[in-house]
Amino acid sequence: MSFKEYLGYEDSLLPRLATGFGGGIGRKGSLCGALTGSVMVIGMKGGRVNPNDQDSKERVYKATYQFWDWFEKKFGNSQCHLLIGCHLDNEKERKKWLAAGGMKRCAEIVETTAQLLFDFIKEMK
């Protein structure tokens, strides 16, 4: 089950919105897509509907900060290229990484992040 389904969203727009997050945002090697997606889920759970709702905004900022802190403690960094040891925007390096089974590391990060995010959002107020 996806977080979208778990939180009761049926809009097919959500997966489309997140498509570019992989590879540290479009293979740029920046912020890990698993962390970026987690921020989206935290917002889905407790984000504001009204732009003037400062309380919800502050709660989500606090939750995002806490989750980001956990992520960096767990994995040692939040930058894709440092987490996987490859610059995905370099085609030669990316092909070598893929051939060596590099996607396994990404899958491990995504799976661990999703498991802990599930517990995290259950505790969110």
Q: What is the pLDDT of residues 62-86, one digit of tens each?
A: 999 999 999 999 999 999 999 999 9
**Residue extents of the structural domains in the chain:** 3-123
Tens-binned pLDDT, residue by residue, of the chain (125 aa): 676 676 666 766 777 777 888 899 999 999 999 999 999 999 988 988 898 999 999 999 999 999 999 999 999 999 999 999 999 999 999 999 999 999 999 999 999 999 999 999 998 87
| Model pLDDT, residue 4 | 66
| Model pLDDT, residue 49 | 87
| Model pLDDT, residue 5 | 73
Residues 6+ apart with CB under 8 A from 42: 60, 63, 64, 67, 117, 120, 121, 124
Rounded Cα distance, 53 and 76, in Å:
34
Q: C-alpha angle with apex 18: 22 to 10, nearest 5 degrees? A: 145
